[in-house]
Amino acid sequence: MARKDMPLDQEESSGGLEKSLLFLIPIMFTIVLVGVLLTLFNIDFRNSAMNLGNKIPIVKDWIPGPELTPEEAAAQDKEDSTAKELEALKQQLAEREQELEEMTSQKNSQETKAAELQAQLDAAQNEAAAEETEDPYFQQISDLAKMYAGMSPSKAAPIIESLMKEEMVLILGAMKNDPRAAILEKMNPQTAADATMLLKDAKPARDQAIAALQSRLAKEEQDVSDSQRSSLDQNELSQTFSRMAPKSAAELLIQTYKITPDKAITILKSVDDAARAKILDELSGAEPEMAARILNRLMGAQ
């Protein structure tokens, strides 16, 4: 009674589904059966099917991996190990490349800094050279060097040898190589050797100039000192004439007055009163006119 009450369209739908299932079930059973048989009796086909299934995104989660022979398993392990080693090497290579980039960056930075420092050094040297060129003293040294270089080496060598060593090195250092070598050849071998050693250890031109001036000043002071030591001072001269016999002192003063009157007056001023009186007494007896002139000068000096 209930079946008779079902709508006609529902009965037609149920009949269509049953017909479809009756048609599909045998086909699916056949496919599954064939697949099972092929899987059991054909390993290669099974592995191929599994490999194919593993490539499908969702199906690969339901299908186990293909069975491998020991050789294939060993090869697979080796391949996996090689892949891991390759990945580790890639990682090391990336790290080395990073380190190389950092080292290159540091090297470039150091080269830039070195170039800046060299530029500053060159600028300072150029400035110092410009100052030395503008200095009249260095200009004079340069002119002297050019003058000696233009002379015959045989004539220039003895003149330069007569200079102080510091002055000689200063002038030779301002010359070019060819004229300097020619002059050194004509110099005394020992002097040339000393000059060569000083040129080898040459200091900046300004320091050489200071050393030359100091050496010249020391020589002049030494000459003055030697000259002073070679002459009697006023006290020694006074004692000498005071100890002489009045007649001898008077005769010596007469000759001195004829050559240099001022020195004769200075000698008489330096002796004591008693010695001066005795000497003037002898002078008045020998040369009355000269004695009068000396007395006038002594009185005028007082």
Task: Find out whether 19 and 11 touch, Cβ atoms under 8 Å.
Answer: no
Q: Is 50 exceeded by the pLDDT of residue 229?
A: no
Q: Is 50 exceeded by the pLDDT of residue 103?
A: yes
Q: What is the pLDDT of residue 53?
A: 60
Q: Is 70 exceeded by the pLDDT of residue 64?
A: no
Q: What is the pLDDT of residue 2?
A: 43
Residue type, 237: L
Q: Is 70 exceeded by the pLDDT of residue 6?
A: no
Q: Is 80 exceeded by the pLDDT of residue 74?
A: no
* Euclidean distance between CA atoms 298 and 276, whole angstroms: 11
Domain range list for the chain = 16-67, 87-134, 136-230, 234-301
Q: How confident is the model at residue 220 (pLDDT cuts 50, 70, 90)?
A: low
* CB-based contacts of 161-166 (< 8 A; 24+ apart in sequence): 161/187, 161/188, 161/191, 164/212, 164/215, 164/216, 164/219, 165/194, 165/195, 165/198, 165/215, 166/198, 166/208, 166/211, 166/212, 166/214, 166/215, 166/216
Task: Tell me which of 12-16, 107-111, 211-215 is least confident.
Answer: 211-215
Share the mean pLDDT of the chain: 73
DSSP classification of residue 162: T
Q: What is the pLDDT of residue 145?
A: 84
Q: How confident is the model at residue 292 (pLDDT cuts 50, 70, 90)?
A: confident
Q: Is 60 exceeded by the pLDDT of residue 72?
A: yes
* Euclidean distance between CA atoms 116 and 210, whole angstroms: 32
Q: Is 50 exceeded by the pLDDT of residue 150?
A: yes
Residue 251 CB partners (closer than 8 Å, separation 6+): 282, 286
Answer with the residue of higher pLDDT: 38 or 223.
Answer: 38
pTM for this predicted structure: 0.31
